[in-house]
Amino acid sequence: MATYVAVQQGYGTLNAPLTPTVADKISGGDVAKGAILEVKAGATPATVTFVDPGRTPAGNTGTQAGQVVAANTTRRFKTDAKWLNSAGEIDVTYSQISTITYELFY
């Protein structure tokens, strides 16, 4: 597992998308700054799942609903402190990582 590093955007900033691992983390510090996870899928769609630690209104510990990023599209996800686990991080998993990249912004 890797912990994502957010990129603070400025004018004229050019970033290179990164390849995730199957299970990654977003720090609580980045969540507090309003982090947005952008996932780009290539030829193969991917399902992105934010692990619910049981503090969301759904309280779905262990039974999360994934969000599909269709082939050749980009999708952005606003993070929420309700998804922080006991270590103060958000756990993110992917159904596949061979054709996707990500960027984390705030």
pLDDT in tens, the chain (106 residues): 456 655 555 555 667 788 999 889 999 999 999 999 999 999 999 999 988 777 666 666 665 778 999 999 999 999 989 889 889 999 999 999 999 999 988 7
Element spanning 31, H or E: helix 28-32
Angle at 101 between CA 98 and CA 103, to 5 degrees: 160
Backbone φ and ψ for 82, nearest 5 degrees, come out as -65, -20
Q: What pLDDT is stored for residue 1 in this prediction?
A: 47
Q: Which domains does the chain possess?
A: 2-105 (2.60.120)
Nearest by Cα to 51 from 86, 97, 7: 86
Nearest by Cα to 90 from 16, 19, 23: 23
Q: Which tokens is 43 given?
A: 């030829």
Q: Measure CA 37 to chain center.
A: 5
